[in-house]
A and B are shown apart, each in its own frame.
Chain A
Amino acid sequence: MLTTEEKKALIFLLTLFFCGLILGNLAKSSQEIKKFTRPCVELTKLNLNRVSLEELDSLKCIPKKLSLEIINYRNARQKGFESIEELKEIKGIGPKRYQRLKELFFLE
C-alpha cells in the first residue's frame, strides 16, 4: 500500500508534529509575566479644569505642593486652563515633568 520512503516520510512528519506540539506547549507555559512596573501615568485622564485638589493629591506622581500650585493657577484665571501647555508656566513643572503630566490630563 505504502512504499518504504512514504512510510519514512510519514513517521518523520508525525514525529516533527509531536515535537512541535510539545515545544509549543512549553513555549506557552513559559510565557509568564516577568516583571511589573509602576507607571507614573494613572489609568484615566483627568479634566484639568475640573479636577479637585483631593484628586490631584491622590496621584503619586504629583507632589502635594504642586497640586496646590495647579489649583491656584487655575483659580487665578477666569477661563481656567486653555491648553495643557499652560502647565509649563507653573513653578515646579519643568519639561521632564510636563511630558509625564500631559498624559494625565485633558481639556474639554
Chain B
Amino acid sequence: MKNFLAIVTSVYCLGILSCRHIQFNFWIAALFGIILTALAALFKKNELIFLCFLLSASFLAGYLSLHNSLILPKRDIANFHQIKKAGETILDGFMASALEEKGGAFEFILSVRQVQSGNLSWSSCGKVLVRMDFWLPLTYGKNLKIAGVLNQNPGFKGGYNDFLKRQGIYLSMQIKDRRQITLVPGQGGNKLISFCLGLRAKLESVISRYLDEISAGMLNAMVLGERKQISRLVNDYMVKSGTVHILVVSGFNVGIVAFVCNLIFKFMRIRRKLRIILAIICLFVYCLVTGASNPVIRATVMGIIFLFSYFLKKEPDIGASLTAAALLILVIRPGELFDIGFQLSFASVLSIAFLYPQLSRYLGLEKCKPRALKFIFSGCLVSLCAWAGTLFIIAFNFHIVTPIAVLANILVVPLATLITLSGFAMLIAGLCLPFLAQVFSFPVSALIKLLLSVNSAVLKIPFAYFYI
C-alpha cells in the first residue's frame, strides 16, 4: 500500500505539472475524472486495469486541483481590478497576517470583505497585500478600513511575487499617510491563529530581551522560523556554506517539540495515550506559531503520523509518512509543488531516507568501530545525502554549487542542535522562570557566535563554493 501511495502521489504531481502546460476545460476534465473513477470501481477485480484507471483519475485530480486553485470567485477583488482600473478605493476587511517589516516598510495581508470605489460599495472577498511606510500597533484579526490606490503585483515571474500569487494575492496597496487607515471596532479572523500569533510575539519578546541583535535574529529563525532579523551578510554566508537550512524551522525542531512535550507530560505522570494526543496538539500549535510554512507542515504531518503509529504501537514508516505529508500539502495547496522550499524540503528528506540506508550498507557503516567513528561517518553520510538530494534544485534556482556544504554541515548541524535545544529551554524558562532565562541566554549567545565563526572559517577554504 505504501508504494502504491507513492505512485499515486507521483502521478498526482504529474497532473499538477501538466496544468501549467496544457489547458483543458474544467468540466470536461472533471467528467473524465469521474468516469475513470467509476471504471476503476467496475474493474477492481482486475489488478492491471484497475491500476490504469485509478492512476489516470489521479492524474486528472492533480490537474483539476491546480486548475481549481487558480480560479478566483467572481466577486474576488482581483477580478474587479482586472475589469475596471479603479482610482481611489476603500477596502473594508480584517488583517489576515501579522504586521511584518520588509525592507524598511511594514506589510500585512488584508482579507477583504467590502469594497468601495467612487460612490459604489459592494461585498467582496480575496486578499490584498498592504504596504505601509510607517509603523502602527496592528495585530492579526484587527478590523480595518483602508483607503488608497490598488496596484496589480507586477509580472509574477519568480521570487516574492510568485510566492504571493500562490497565496492568492494579486493586488497590493501602498499606504503613505496614517489617515488612510481607520480602525473599525471588532475582531475578524481565526481565534486559534490569533492565539498562536500572540504566543509567537511573546516568545519573540523573550528572545530579544535576553539576547543581542545578531543572536536574537539567529534564534528567532532557528526556533520560531522568523527570518526578518537575520542580516543579509549572515544569510549570504549561510547560503554560500550550504547551511542556510538551519535558519528554517523543519523536522528537527518539530522532533524536539514532540520530545520535550512528551518528556514534560511523562514527568506529570500523564498516561501514554493521552500524552501522545497532547503532544500532537502541541505540534499543531507549534506549526501555527512558526507560520505553517511548507517544511513545518511536512514535518508536523510526519511527526503526527509517527506519534500516531506509536499510539497504535506500530512501526512508523518514513516513506509512507513523507508521501502522506506531500499529498496532504498538495491537495490543500497544489501550487506549492512549484515552491522551492517545498522541493528542497522533500528532496532532502527523501534522499536521506532512501539514499542513506543504501550507502550505509554499501560502505559497511554498521560494522564500523569504535562507536564515535561510526557516529562521525554517519553524520558525514547524512550530510552528503542531503547535499546530493538538493544539489540540482539549488544549482538550477540559485546558480550556486557548494561543495563545502558536506563539511560545513558536519560542523554546523551539531552546534545548531545545541542552540535549538538551549533556545527552547531559554524560551520555556523565559515564560515561567525569567531569572533562569537570563542564565540560559549566555550559552545560547556563545554557541551562536561559535557557529558563525565556524561558518565563516569553512568559507575560507579554497573552492568552498562557486557560481554557475
Tell me the smallest distance from the CB of A65 to a CB of chain B, in Å.
Answer: 21
A22 touches B54 (CB 8 A): no
B74 touches A29 (CB 8 A): yes
B121 touches A39 (CB 8 A): yes
In angstroms, Cα B58 to Cα A10, docked, is 10
B54 touches A35 (CB 8 A): no
B116 touches A18 (CB 8 A): no
Flag whether A38 is at the interface (Cβ < 8 A): yes
What interface size band does chain A fall in? 35 or more
In the complex, which residue of chain B has the Cβ closest to the Cβ of A42? B119
A14 touches B61 (CB 8 A): yes
Flag whether B248 is at the interface (Cβ < 8 A): no
Flag whether B331 is at the interface (Cβ < 8 A): yes
Q: Work out how many contacts link A and B, with CB atoms closer than 8 A.
A: 99
15 contacts between A and B (CB under 8 A): A11-B37, A14-B37, A14-B40, A14-B61, A22-B30, A25-B30, A27-B73, A28-B72, A28-B74, A29-B74, A30-B74, A37-B121, A43-B89, A43-B118, A45-B147
Select which of A11, A32, A39 is within 8 A of B44 by beta carbon: A11
List 12 other contacts, CB 8 Å, given A14-B57, A44-B147. Answer: A1-B47, A14-B58, A18-B57, A25-B26, A28-B68, A29-B74, A33-B124, A34-B122, A35-B122, A37-B121, A38-B120, A39-B116
Select which of B30, B73, B118 is within 8 A of A21 by beta carbon: B30
Flag whether B375 is at the interface (Cβ < 8 A): no
Select which of A28, A32, A38, A60 is within 8 A of B121 by beta carbon: A38
- Which of B37, B61, B68, B179 neighbours the largest number of chain A CB atoms within 10 Å of its CB? B37
Flag whether B169 is at the interface (Cβ < 8 A): no
In angstroms, Cα B61 to Cα A22, docked, is 11
B74 touches A38 (CB 8 A): no
Flag whether B90 is at the interface (Cβ < 8 A): yes
Contacts of B72 in A (CB 8 A): 28
Chain A contacts to B: CB under 8 angstroms: 1-2, 4, 6-8, 10-11, 14-15, 17-18, 21-22, 24-25, 27-39, 42-45, 60, 106
Contacts of B175 in A (CB 8 A): none
Contacts of B117 in A (CB 8 A): 43
In angstroms, Cα B41 to Cα A1, docked, is 16
Chain B contacts to A: CB under 8 angstroms: 1, 4, 8, 26, 30, 33-34, 37, 40-41, 44, 47, 50-51, 54, 57-58, 61, 64-65, 68, 71-76, 88-90, 116-125, 147, 179, 331
A33 touches B123 (CB 8 A): yes
Contacts of A35 in B (CB 8 A): 122
Tell me the smallest distance from the CB of A98 to a CB of chain B, in Å.
Answer: 17
In the complex, which residue of chain B has the Cβ closest to the Cβ of A39? B121
B179 touches A21 (CB 8 A): no
Contacts of A44 in B (CB 8 A): 88, 147
In angstroms, Cα B12 to Cα A21, docked, is 14
Contacts of B118 in A (CB 8 A): 43
Contacts of B57 in A (CB 8 A): 14, 18
B122 touches A36 (CB 8 A): yes
Tell me the smallest distance from the CB of A42 to a CB of chain B, in Å.
Answer: 7
In angstroms, Cα B350 to Cα A72, docked, is 77
A33 touches B122 (CB 8 A): yes
Tell me the smallest distance from the CB of A100 to a CB of chain B, in Å.
Answer: 14
- Which of A10, A15, A33, A37 neighbours the largest number of chain B CB atoms within 10 Å of its CB? A10
Tell me the smallest distance from the CB of B182 to a CB of chain A, in Å.
Answer: 8
In the complex, which residue of chain A has the Cβ closest to the Cβ of B40? A11
In angstroms, Cα B31 to Cα A25, docked, is 13
Contacts of A36 in B (CB 8 A): 120-122
B119 touches A14 (CB 8 A): no
